[in-house]
Amino acid sequence: FLFNINLILQVLQYHIVRRRINKMDATKGNIYSILNGNKQFLIPVYQRYYSWEIEQCSRLWNDIVDMQKKGKAGHFVGSIVNIAEQAMPTGVQKYMIIDGQQRMTTLTLLLIALRNYAENHPEDKTINFRRIDCMLLRNEYEDGDERYKLLLTETDRDLLISLVEKKPIKNPGLSRIMLNYKFFVDKIADMELKPAEIYESIGKLQIVNITLDRNVDDAQAIFESLNSTGKELSESDLIRNYVLMGLEPKEQKYVYEHMWRPMELLFDYEKQDSIMDRFFRDYLTMKMTRIPKIDRVYETFKAYHLNCEFATIRELCNDLLTYATYYTNMIFKRSDNNILKSLYSDIGDLRMEVAFPFLLKVHNDCAEGIITEDDLIEIIKMCISYVFRRSICDIPTNSLNKTFATLRNEIKPDDYMNSIKAFFVLRDDYKEFPDDDKFSKAFETRDIYNMRSRNFILSHLENYGNKAPIIIENYTIEHIMPQNSNLKDEWKKMLGSNWHEIQKTYLHTIGNLTLTAYNSEMSDNPFMVKMNMKGGFKESALRLNAYLVKLTEWNEQHIKERAALLADKAEKIWAYPEITDSEIAPYRVQEKPAQRYSLETYDINAFTKMLFDMLDRRICNLSPNVKREFKKLYIAYKLDTNFVDIVVQKQRLRISLNMKFPKINDPKGLCHDITGLGRWGNGDVEVFFEHTSEIDDIMELIKQSYKLQADE
């Protein structure tokens, strides 16, 4: 046990030295020794709210029970790190908690539950509720906020004070304070341990109490060090701490109350950390037009702050609040404009969060009057159509984040709408915006039923132009031609001798899908039974079934005709940008006639051509997104930029991998470090392909460079 305590102290000492912290006072104790005396522990505004769940409380309780029943001398539960406020000759000594509020608050809830039990059971003389109340929960002779040993932030503060003062609590909201307090009340009532045993065991819980000197120690560095030792702080936790900790108390209070707290309240309580982490990443992407790595958002934010356009933290936080409002409006579908609210719902259904950095920009431009609300709506529709059409055409999505991250750079303020339309229309290859012809062909033949967005698609096809839209959740998807591989004879006869091939080809396509409230009744019945039954197609008021009621049979021709009709409607719902030739002309790049290269450009022989053909096929098969370009001196393979280049030599191929040499995993030692050396191609890694037996090893190296770029 003592070894564990010493180890913890050594680890903390190491991190404090590593962060160049100059002084600390670290002592081993328990919650009783920490709270005893005229003291108060405050949770600063930059700390996260109380967030321990029943799982953590249960683990603490089990440790207490196990320790008591096995007669253990103690159990280490962690550390509390605080900054001592300036000492006053009289009154309460205050400590600002940097780390440890979760366990300290939880132990306080347990003590309140134990006090209340003892007070309500005066016949049990083994525990003194007044001792708990006056020594561990309150400063008996103080008034106002100084009366309480522990002061939390915001609504948690009021709830904890109400529990200490035994005041009725009408609406605890979403705080975990009440849930965890009730957990301990129930555990004490179960009498697994006697109250006196619980009180004794709490005193055996060992805590390392570390008090820092405000004038000497670097609290921000300690906060980061604690996170590096494994404490699960989110990126937004670290950013909040960074933004608020360094402010003077008065300014800190103002920024927190007027900007930071209102921003936090915009986000869902239960998922606040994860959504705020995404917001900060998208905010930084929008500001810098590059995407921070997901685990480097905090570091990127610090670097951005040092070079941003804002002179003060207050200005920066005001900007964050502004953009967080746009962000949460999109996430939680908030708007007074019903069209915008519906579009936000579409964004959620398509999971197109990749567009948020760009959409943050255009929302702000709308708020500043640079574009109108109608322009904003048109731009959002354009983005939705772009993402949706690409998904129908099965174009991989791994380039979308970079496309939207840099799209703001394409905006021309004096020709705002046309510059965005031109950008989309002029995309090609893996970034293209599929035109009506490509989209319609894909829409008619695509397996819609097994797409994640199938309900989204059918709902929009049904509700387009409908003043009384349906709620898709009230219906199920119906295959007009049934899924049963052993079709009834009526179906086989209607579809013809090649019924099996027709079923295989068209079963899950849009032409064969509709909506019904009578899916189980329809089952795999013949077409005319489905037509005339109660709730059948003939009785249906759904627009999706309007084509069906005119028919007496269902076959390949009708499936294709209906698919074409629905594709026409889809073109209008998810429209292609409209821009005239004269409007797009300024955005067309006038390319100089360039010399075209091919494999024959290089000095290639039969052997090196065999090596090249083998390698070329394997590289191109990595993804449909891979583009091959014959350059003057080498062959380039790229996603957004080159990830591998090939130079044809007389008896071998020289391969350049576009990555830093220390990042390559090369167990067979095939690679050469060419950092700083002049070579044709890109990157710091060179490898030679000299024999067909090396192909698998070479591809493992190439895949690393490919994955590095694909993941960015």
Q: Please provide the size of the chain in residues.
A: 712
Please give the average per-residue pLDDT across 498-515, as a whole number.
Answer: 95
Helix crossing, 338-350 with 313-332: angle to 10°? 80
**Strands 685-689 and 39-42, sheet pairing:** unpaired
Pick 539 or 216 by higher pLDDT.
539
The first and second tokens of residue 425, run together, are: 């229309």
Pick 218 or 689 by higher pLDDT.
689
Q: Tokens 């799209």 correspond to what residue?
A: 407
Provide the greatest CA pair distance for the chain. Answer: 100
SS3 29: strand
Strand runs (DSSP E) across 342-439, as ranges?
none
Indicate the range of 182-196, 394-408, 438-452 predicted with least confidence.
394-408
Torsion on CA atoms 205, 208, 214, 215, rounded to nearest 10: 160
pLDDT tens per residue, range 28-60 = 788 899 998 899 998 887 777 788 889 999 999
Question: In the prediction, which pLDDT does 431 show?
Answer: 87
Indicate the range of 238-252, 422-436, 695-709 predicted with least confidence.
238-252
Question: In the prediction, which pLDDT does 249 show?
Answer: 80
Q: How does residue 14 score in pLDDT terms, banded at 50, 70 and 90?
A: very low
pLDDT tens per residue, range 572-620 = 999 999 999 999 999 987 545 556 788 888 888 888 888 999 999 999 8
**CA dist., res. 391 & res. 644, Å (int):** 27
Q: Which of 282, 284, 317, 320 is nearest to 299 (CA)?
A: 284
Question: In the prediction, which pLDDT does 1 show?
Answer: 40
Quote the pTM value: 0.70
Q: Which of 393, 489, 487 is nearest to 445 (CA)?
A: 393
Amino acid identity, residue 647? V
Q: How does residue 514 score in pLDDT terms, banded at 50, 70 and 90?
A: very high
Question: In the prediction, which pLDDT does 260 show?
Answer: 92
Question: In the prediction, which pLDDT does 504 show?
Answer: 94
Question: In the prediction, which pLDDT does 18 show?
Answer: 43
Cα 54–chain centre separation: 25
Amino acid identity, residue 498? N
SS3 411: coil
pLDDT tens per residue, range 164-197 = 999 988 777 767 899 999 999 999 999 999 999 9
The first and second tokens of residue 465, run together, are: 């132009």
Query: Has residue 561 got a pLDDT over 60?
Result: yes
**CA dist., res. 158 & res. 51, Å (int):** 16
pLDDT over 90, % of the chain: 56
Q: Which of 524, 582, 575 is nearest to 554 (CA)?
A: 524
CA–CA distances in Å: residue 316 to residues 127, 224, 289, 302, 485: 53, 21, 18, 12, 62
Question: In the prediction, which pLDDT does 24 show?
Answer: 56
Inter-residue long-range contacts of 610-616, CB under 8 Å, 24+ positions, other chains counted: 610/692, 611/652, 611/653, 611/689, 611/690, 611/692, 612/646, 612/648, 612/653, 614/692, 614/695, 615/646, 615/653, 615/689, 615/695, 615/698, 615/699
Query: Has residue 272 got a pLDDT over 80?
Result: no
Question: In the prediction, which pLDDT does 461 show?
Answer: 96
DSSP state of 190: T
Query: Has residue 655 got a pLDDT over 90?
Result: yes
Please give the average per-residue pLDDT across 412-423, as a whole number.
Answer: 96
Query: Has residue 318 got a pLDDT over 70?
Result: yes
Please give the average per-residue pLDDT across 240-266, as a whole number.
Answer: 88
Q: Tokens 């001196």 correspond to what residue?
A: 633
Q: How does residue 13 score in pLDDT terms, banded at 50, 70 and 90?
A: very low
Question: In the prediction, which pLDDT does 397 show?
Answer: 81
Question: In the prediction, which pLDDT does 595 show?
Answer: 64
Average per-residue pLDDT for the chain: 87
Question: In the prediction, which pLDDT does 533 show?
Answer: 92
pLDDT tens per residue, range 208-247 = 888 876 655 555 666 665 554 434 678 888 898 889 887 8
Question: In the prediction, which pLDDT does 245 show?
Answer: 81
Q: Are 107 and 150 in contact (CB under 8 A)?
A: no
Please give the average per-residue pLDDT across 468-497, as a whole number.
Answer: 92
Question: In the prediction, which pLDDT does 428 show?
Answer: 81
> Could you please report the per-residue DSSP string of 485-522?
SS--HHHHHHH-TTHHHHHHHHTTSGGGEEEES-HHHH
- List beta partners, residue 28: 208
Question: In the prediction, which pLDDT does 19 show?
Answer: 45
Q: Are 337 and 296 in contact (CB under 8 A)?
A: no
SS3 637: strand
Pick 346 or 222 by higher pLDDT.
346
Query: Has residue 290 got a pLDDT over 70?
Result: yes
Indicate the range of 90-94, 221-225, 470-474, 625-629 predicted with least confidence.
221-225
Please give the average per-residue pLDDT across 197-215, as a whole number.
Answer: 84
